[in-house]
Amino acid sequence: MTEEQRMQRELRSVRPRHDDPELPDDITSQDLDRIARNELKTLSKDNAEAVGRHLAMAARVIDEDPELAHRHVMSAARRAGRIAVVRESLAITAYATGDFALALRELRTYRRISGSNDQLALMVDSERGVGRPDRALELGRSVERASLPASVQVALAIAMSGARLDLGETEAALSELEIPQLNPKTAFSYSAELFAAYAEVLGELGRDDEADLWNERAERADAAVSGETAFDETMEILEIDEEEPDEDEESGEDQSGDDQSDDDATDVSDDEFAGESDDDDAADDSTPDDSDDTDDEAEHDAEASPRA
């Protein structure tokens, strides 16, 4: 069996029949990030451009039309089923459309091809989506947390907390979220979602005052990150202790390092917001292995969507 035949066999269940959706003239493969474009360099020039355009279009429309985004990624998969970013994108759009079994299968293939665990949280949530919270927790514990980037650790904690809630283990759900990144004094791109998830579980426990506090922190973190200039993807929030200043400190002189000075800081309410860069981790060591995962995806076809 040739490589082309193997690829066609693997993708057969993904696209029994498929017509390529139209692409606008203004979309090009250059709209993809550098890492994705580098992966496509193993393809011919024309094929790489076609695949890149469909992936870029999927990224453009996934929020408002996940079904259309999924069709675009299927078009890319027909042409480049052995490329890790294509299988990753197929998993993401499948998840967005509620096809959690397909998402889980594609995520396993992506991890096998790329050697990366950066979509572990989505795998855990997909296990929840097919009705297996116990399997979700087992999967989440299978990787050493310290080996994951901070953003992946946060996403995994939220997914694990959701699995605990699925099982009715509310106290354990709260504990899953009590990780080092749950720090109200700093805010990164992932902080608002973490704070909001923590507030939700506090609300489930009837701790409404604490839930309100963490919801406020989530809103401030989101405002801090979204309000920063485009070149800053992460932010730092320094919450100033609300203490009455001594009379002799009101003169404005520098007092033993208590004052915060940062040219990039923006004073919002009682917080200072300062830009901070956050390193992105990218795993790109491809070890292609295209055997299908057919052990258990189809045995559960739950309709319920995972809890946010």
- The CATH code of the domain that includes 87 is 1.25.40
Q: Which domain holds residue 168?
A: 119-177
DSSP 185-196: T-B-TTHHHHHH
Domain shared by 126 and 19, yes or no: no
**Is pLDDT at 238 greater than 60 in this prediction?**
no
**Is pLDDT at 30 greater than 50 in this prediction?**
yes
**Is pLDDT at 290 greater than 70 in this prediction?**
no
Domain shared by 1 and 103, yes or no: yes
Domain boundary among 95, 116, 137: 116
How confident is residue 8, by pLDDT bands cut at 50, 70 and 90?
low
Domain shared by 153 and 187, yes or no: no
The tokens describing 20, both together, are: 């390529």
The confidence score (pLDDT) of residue 269 equals 38
Contact residues for 294 (Cβ-Cβ < 8 A; gap 6+): 105
SS (H, E, C) 272-291: EEEEECCCCCCCCCCCCCCC
Domain shared by 123 and 81, yes or no: no
Give yes or no for a contact between 205 and 170, defined as CB atoms under 8 angstroms apart: yes
pLDDT in tens, 126-183: 999 999 999 999 999 999 999 999 999 999 999 999 999 999 999 999 999 999 999 9
* Helix (H) / strand (E) containing 59: helix 45-61
Domain shared by 218 and 149, yes or no: no
Domain shared by 223 and 168, yes or no: no
Nearest to residue 283, comparing CAs of 39, 107, 62? 39
Percent of the chain with pLDDT over 70: 68
Domain shared by 111 and 145, yes or no: no
DSSP 31: G
**How many C-beta neighbours within 10 Å does residue 128 have?**
25
Decide if 220 is inside a domain: yes
Domain shared by 83 and 139, yes or no: no
pLDDT in tens, 209-237: 999 999 999 999 999 988 753 434 444 55
Strand partners, 187: 235
* Helix (H) / strand (E) containing 173: helix 170-177
* Least-confidence region, from 112-116, 117-121, 283-287: 283-287
Q: Give how many domains the chain has, as a whole number.
A: 3
Identify which has the larger pLDDT, 292 or 199.
199
**Is pLDDT at 280 greater than 50 in this prediction?**
no
Domain shared by 100 and 136, yes or no: no
The confidence score (pLDDT) of residue 146 equals 93
Decide if 7 is inside a domain: yes
Domain shared by 75 and 149, yes or no: no
Q: In terms of residues, how long is the chain?
A: 308
Nearest to residue 290, comparing CAs of 103, 83, 117? 83
Domain boundary among 116, 134, 156: 116
Domain shared by 107 and 5, yes or no: yes
Compute CA 120 distance to the chain's CA centroid, rounded to the nearest angstrom. Answer: 9
Q: How far apart are CA 236 and CA 278, in angstroms?
A: 11
In the chain, how many H helices and how many E strands? 12, 3
pLDDT in tens, 53-107: 999 999 999 999 999 999 999 999 999 999 999 999 999 999 999 999 999 999 9
Instruction: Work out the average pLDDT over 250-277.
Output: 37
**Is pLDDT at 240 greater than 60 in this prediction?**
no
Q: How far apart are CA 119 and CA 55, in angstroms?
A: 18
Decide if 43 is inside a domain: yes
Domain boundary among 131, 158, 177: 177
pTM: 0.69
Decide if 304 is inside a domain: no
Compute CA 168 distance to the chain's CA centroid, rounded to the nearest angstrom. Answer: 25
Percent of the chain with pLDDT over 90: 66
* Helix (H) / strand (E) containing 239: strand 234-239
The confidence score (pLDDT) of residue 28 equals 94
The confidence score (pLDDT) of residue 226 equals 84
